[in-house]
């Protein structure tokens, strides 16, 4: 049951509960009123007969009751008159009804019908009993309850229907908003804006407007960040190019020139990495320009490239490359990603250590895992491993800028893949999980 449905149902049912309470009170009132009316009727009858007896004695009373018995009472009332010995003098009944005691008002059942009866002993010792039918009062009450129940059922049905319709509408609106927000995280999502389906001035229109304003602001900051990053990286290349060109015309020793060249090369690599990360962020999840790439074959080539380098340092680069590991990708970027991971392994392990590149298909995913048997990393670094310029205390002495894994993550994101550093018993590992090529077209 959705939250909107629950709220709408509550709003619909609250008046119904009040209505039911009202009906119960009205019903009790009505029952009291009807009973009072029956009692008044009884009192009036007894008073009338009493007066007749006082004025014209028993014979007239007996005749009056006999007449009533012969003609019949339209309201179905019963009358009974007995002598001092209890012998029946006149009446609509064969005998004095059970339970009727002179001086008392009693509920009676005569011939299966409910009556309200009252008896009185006249001054001559005659007992006079009158019973008025409650049948019609019961009918009135029953009809009233039926009408109230029918209205109650209609209200309940109406509340349920209204709640359902409101929930349906709210859910559809929320779903559209969610879908639009979901697309913000997708390729080119920064250009996405909320659907405008409500008249301006309503709270939903204000919500959509506020989300859009927020997205505009984020997009602007994002764009400014990108442009600054690109501008810095590009603009730095031209002066560096001049420095390099002038370096050539200087009379420098080879070693000094090589050292300066290497510094420039390192600086360029830093800019390239920053530029690539910025570029990947823009293109994250966008499949345009990607082609099927066999990740196992790509890794095999890179293992072959790095194996001699590792061997010279007493390390080993090996692979466990499964079949059917094709993903949609950019071979150059994927090569750079795997190359970064292997070079990381080579850099942070020592002689005797093994760097293993593992590629396996797991259902709709292809899992790349580059692990090593080195000293691993501490927990504090693990948390910010993929952040730019993150470097461990123990590795500060090693060359590099701490951009390698940022670039790995950026390239993974560019391919709609996720990069993570799983806990390992020994050494260090990075896993990248990408969607298998076939899963893109299902």
Partner 1 sequence: MASEDEAQERILVVEDDADMAAALSNACAELGFEPVLAASMAEGIAFAARQPFALAILDRMLPDGDSADTIARLRATGSVPHVLMVSALAHAGHRVHGLDRGADDYLAKPFAPEELRARIRALVRRGRQGQGDTDFLVFDGLQIHVKARTVHHDADHIALSPKEFDLILYFARNAGTPLSRMQLLEHVWNLHFDPQTNVVDVHVGRLRRKLQSQTGRAWIHTARGAGYWFGPEDALG
| First vs last C-alpha separation in the chain | 31
Q: What secondary structure, in 3-state letters, does 136-182 show? A: HHHHHHHHHHHHHHHHHHHHHHHHHHHHHHHHHHHHHHHHHHHHHHH
* Per-residue x/- track, 72-111, partner 1 (CB under 8 A): ----------------------------------------
Name which position in 105, 339, 395, 424 contacts partner 1 (CB under 8 A): 339
**Calpha distance 163→9 (Å, rounded):** 5
Contacts (Cβ under 8 Å, ≥6 apart) of 400: 347, 391
Tokens 């004695």 correspond to what residue?
57
Sites for partner 1 among residues 355-414 (CB under 8 A): 399-400
Sheet with strand 428-435: strands edge to edge: 316-321, 354-362, 365-372, 428-435, 418-420
Which CB sits closer to partner 1, 129 or 345?
Answer: 345
d(CA 9, CA 439): 42
Joined tokens for residue 27? 């019903």
Write the burial class of residue 398 (CB in 10 Å: 0-12 exposed, 13-18 middle, 19+ buried). Answer: exposed
Q: How far apart are CA 277 and CA 168, in angstroms?
A: 43
> Are the C-beta atoms of residues 433 and 308 closer than 8 Å to each other?
no
**Among 307-315, 318-326, 380-388, 432-440, the segment contacting partner 1 (CB under 8 A):** 307-315
Contact 318, 357 (CB under 8 A): yes
Q: Which is nearer to partner 1, 199 or 399 (CB)?
A: 399
Burial (Cβ within 10 Å: 0-12, 13-18, ≥19) of residue 396: exposed
Q: Could you say whether residue 335 binds partner 1 (CB under 8 A)?
A: yes
CB of 292 to partner 1, least distance (A): 16
Q: Where in 180-239 is the site for partner 1 (CB under 8 A)? A: 234-235, 237-238
Task: Decide: is 20 part of the binding site for partner 1 (CB under 8 A).
Answer: no
The DSSP output letter for 404 is H
HSE-CB for 132 with a 13 A CA cutoff: 19
Query: Which of 77, 133, 336, 406 forms a contact with partner 1 (CB under 8 A)?
Result: 336
Shortest approach of partner 1 to residue 442 CB, angstroms? 28
Choices 18-26, 28-36, 183-191, 343-351; region in contact with partner 1 by CB under 8 A: 343-351
Closer Cβ to partner 1, 158 or 308, answer by number:
308
Which range in 97-105, 119-127, 262-270, 380-388 contacts partner 1 by CB under 8 A?
A: 262-270
CB of 159 to partner 1, least distance (A): 60
- Quote the strand ranges of 37-104, DSSP E: 78-82, 88-91
The minimum distance between CB 301 and partner 1, in angstroms, equals: 7
Count interface residues toward partner 1 (CB under 8 A): 44
Cα–Cα distances (Å) from 341 to 28, 59, 61, 349, in that order, read 84, 126, 121, 12
Applying CB under 8 A, the span of 169-177, 314-322, 324-332, 384-392 interacting with partner 1 comes to: 324-332
Please, what is the minimum distance in Å from the beta carbon of residue 318 to partner 1?
17
Q: What distance in Å separates the CA atoms of residue 240 and residue 344, rounded to the nearest whole number?
A: 27
Site map (CB under 8 A) of partner 1, residues 242-261, x = contact = xxxx--xx----x--xx--x
β pairing state of 354-362 and 78-82: unpaired
Instruction: Report the residue from 124, 125, 182, 308 that binds partner 1 according to the rule CB under 8 A.
Output: 308
Least CB distance to partner 1 at residue 340 (A)? 8
Per rule CB under 8 A, is residue 272 in the interface with partner 1?
A: yes
CB of 208 vs partner 1, minimal distance in Å: 35
Query: Minimal distance in Å, beta carbon 207 to partner 1?
Result: 38
Cβ closest to partner 1, residue 127 vs residue 330? 330
- List C-alpha distances in Å: 427 to 108, 299, 360, 423: 97, 20, 20, 9
Smallest distance from partner 1 to CB 345, Å: 11
Given the rule CB under 8 A, which of 63-71, 274-282, 378-386, 389-397 is the region that contacts partner 1?
A: 274-282
Cβ atoms of 247 and 261 within 8 Å: the answer is: yes
Residues that bind partner 1 (CB under 8 A): 234-235, 237-238, 240-245, 248-249, 254, 257-258, 261, 264-265, 268-269, 272, 275-276, 279, 289, 301, 304-306, 308-309, 312, 330-333, 335-336, 339, 343, 346-347, 399-400
């Amino acid at each position: 049951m959705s939250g909107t449905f629950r709220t709408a149902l509550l709003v619909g049912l609250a008046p119904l509960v009040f209505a039911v309470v009202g009906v119960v009170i009205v019903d009790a009132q009505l029952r009291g009123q009807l009973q009072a009316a029956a009692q008044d009727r009884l009192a009036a009858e007894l008073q009338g007969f009493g007066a007749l007896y006082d004025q014209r004695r028993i014979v007239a009373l007996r005749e009056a009751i006999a007449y009533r018995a012969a003609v019949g009472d339209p309201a179905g009332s019963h009358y009974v008159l007995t002598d001092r010995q209890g012998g029946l003098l006149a009446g609509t009944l064969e005998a004095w009804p059970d339970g009727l005691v002179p001086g008392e008002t009693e509920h009676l059942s005569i011939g299966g019908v409910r009556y309200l009866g009252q008896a009185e002993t006249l001054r001559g010792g005659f007992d006079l009993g009158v019973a008025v039918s409650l049948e019609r009062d019961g009918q009135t009450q029953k009809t009233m309850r039926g009408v109230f129940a029918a209205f109650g059922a209609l209200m309940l049905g109406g509340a349920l229907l209204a709640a359902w319709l409101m929930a349906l509408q709210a859910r559809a609106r929320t779903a559209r908003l969610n879908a639009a927000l979901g697309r913000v995280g997708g390729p080119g999502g920064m250009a996405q804006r909320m659907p405008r389906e409500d008249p301006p001035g309503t709270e939903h229109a204000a919500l959509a407007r506020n989300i859009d304003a927020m997205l505009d602001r984020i997009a602007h900051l994002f764009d400014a960040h990108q442009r600054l990053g690109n501008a810095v990286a590009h603009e730095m290349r031209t002066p560096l190019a001049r420095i390099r060109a002038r370096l050539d015309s200087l009379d420098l020793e080879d070693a000094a020139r090589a050292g300066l060249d290497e510094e420039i090369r390192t600086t360029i690599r830093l800019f390239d990495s920053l530029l690539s990360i910025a570029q990947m962020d823009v293109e994250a999840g966008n499949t345009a320009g990607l082609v099927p790439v066999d990740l196992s074959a790509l890794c095999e080539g890179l293992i072959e490239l790095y194996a001699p380098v590792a061997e010279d340092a007493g390390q080993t680069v090996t692979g466990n490359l499964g079949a059917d590991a094709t993903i949609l990708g950019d071979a150059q970027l994927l090569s750079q990603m795997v190359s970064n991971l292997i070079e990381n392994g080579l850099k942070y392990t020592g002689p005797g250590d093994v760097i293993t590149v593992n590629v396996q298909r797991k259902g709709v995913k292809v899992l790349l895992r580059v692990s090593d048997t080195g000293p691993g990393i501490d927990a504090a670094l693990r948390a910010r491993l993929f952040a730019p310029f993150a470097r461990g205390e123990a590795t500060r002495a090693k060359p590099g800028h701490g951009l390698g894994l940022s670039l790995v993550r950026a390239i993974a994101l560019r391919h709609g893949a996720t990069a993570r550093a799983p806990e390992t018993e020994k050494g260090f590992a990075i896993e990248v999980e990408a969607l298998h090529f076939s899963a893109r077209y299902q």
